Amino acid sequence: MSRFGRAFLQYRNTFMTMAFLAALLAIPQALLAWGREGHEIIVILAEHYMRPATAARMRELLAPESPEEASVWADEYRHDHRETGPWHYIDIPLADSTIDLARECPNGDCVIAKTEQFLKVLKEPNANKDTKAQALRFVIHFVGDLHQPLHVADNGDEGGNTRHVVFDGHPENLHWEWDTGLLQHISRNPAALAAELENRITPRDQAEWQNGSIEDWVMEGHRLAQAVAYGDLSNESPAPITRAYEQQAGPVIELQLHKAGVRLAYLLDANLMLGSAGQNPESKAQTAATRGNPDARVWVNTNSGAYHCPGTRWFGKTHEGQYMTQKEAQNKGYHPSANKPCM
């Protein structure tokens, strides 16, 4: 081959490598969920809030992958399994105040239905380990996604994906800012931000956040999309992300990440251990002796897996629930709200 030919090929290879790298960089981050950092914060928080036996079971199922790695697996899976894209969000029109599942969750392809579906798999005593591990990765990821306000609201712009904004002189889209950009301005260290958030929580917040159903949590995020994500945004295009906007959005993002962590912990406490009762010696040991008064009549929030004592705020009051004795509740794998047994 002529020298010119070789030089040309070399040039072409370099060019193709560059083009390939450029294409990789151009994979629209905006189409991911909370960015990697958001999902990592949520699972770090969740692991701290869940019972030790649940955390051990979670790690055993995910091994050798860490919970942080596992938390973003669903976004990687989405690249090669395009049909799973809609599992990460639900496009509830911005002006609505209720969910129309028939319209917004056709064939169960939305984040609400998929979270519920995979939670059921965790409870299933006969599901094999790989099936459970995959369901667990989806649950960890989707409980995060459904707390991102723009994953549960749509203003005719694919949850902000097609809404142009400018932040610090950089053109971006609104969705990406909520997944990633605004959070990167708060912190670039997931473990440090998780620790800071944990210091702020009161046991009362923790007990309150576990109440309600997945749909209630989704509508809470939807109202934040109305009030803040879109509500505080200027009508210009591109819309500037101002310092004032950032000051409204920042605390909302922190709060949603924190709630997601607390709720993920409660859901896994309730569902993951139920599915392994009798298989896991640790869970047996835990139910061997009742903590608190075994005969106390408690109210179990069957959605979160936490139970409430007589005279406390949520006794008999949560969306879904039932009464039983404390002994029964503990034998079924439920746990006392804020970790305080009834005396």
**Contact positions toward ligand ADE, by CB under 6 A?**
88-89, 91, 150-151, 154, 158-159, 161
The gap from C-alpha 38 to its chain's centroid, in whole angstroms, comes to 9
Binding to Zn ion in span 171-200, by CB under 5 A: 179
The minimum distance between CB 100 and Zn ion, in angstroms, equals 22
Residue nearest to ligand ADE (CB): 159
Element (H, E) at 172: strand 170-173
Angle formed by the axes of helices 129-145 and 67-80, nearest 10°: 90
Cα–Cα distance measured from residue 132 to residue 280, given in angstroms and rounded to the nearest whole number: 15
Closest by Cα among 153, 185, 188 to 172: 185
Nearer to ligand ADE, 37 or 157 (CB): 157
Binding to Zn ion in span 88-107, by CB under 5 A: 88
The minimum distance between CB 5 and ligand ADE, in angstroms, equals 47
On the CB side of 331, CA atoms within 13 Å amount to 7
Q: What are the two backbone dihedrals, phi and then psi, of residue 99, each rounded to the nearest 5 degrees?
A: -100, 135
Which does residue 91 touch among ligand ADE, Zn ion, none (CB within 5 to 8 A, set by kind)? ligand ADE
The minimum distance between CB 111 and ligand ADE, in angstroms, equals 9
Q: Are strands 306-308 and 297-300 parallel, antiparallel or unpaired?
A: antiparallel
Q: Does 157 bind Zn ion (CB under 5 A)?
A: no
The minimum distance between CB 182 and ligand ADE, in angstroms, equals 16
Nearer to ligand ADE, 176 or 266 (CB): 176
Nearer to ligand ADE, 88 or 308 (CB): 88
Q: Are strands 306-308 and 335-336 parallel, antiparallel or unpaired?
A: parallel
**CA-to-CA separations, 209 to 1, 34, 118, 256, 274, in angstroms, rounded:** 70, 20, 21, 10, 21
Q: Does 33 bind Zn ion (CB under 5 A)?
A: yes
The minimum distance between CB 154 and ligand ADE, in angstroms, equals 5
Which does residue 145 touch among Zn ion, ligand ADE, none (CB within 5 to 8 A, set by kind)? Zn ion
Residues within the interface to Zn ion (CB under 5 A): 33, 75, 88, 145, 179
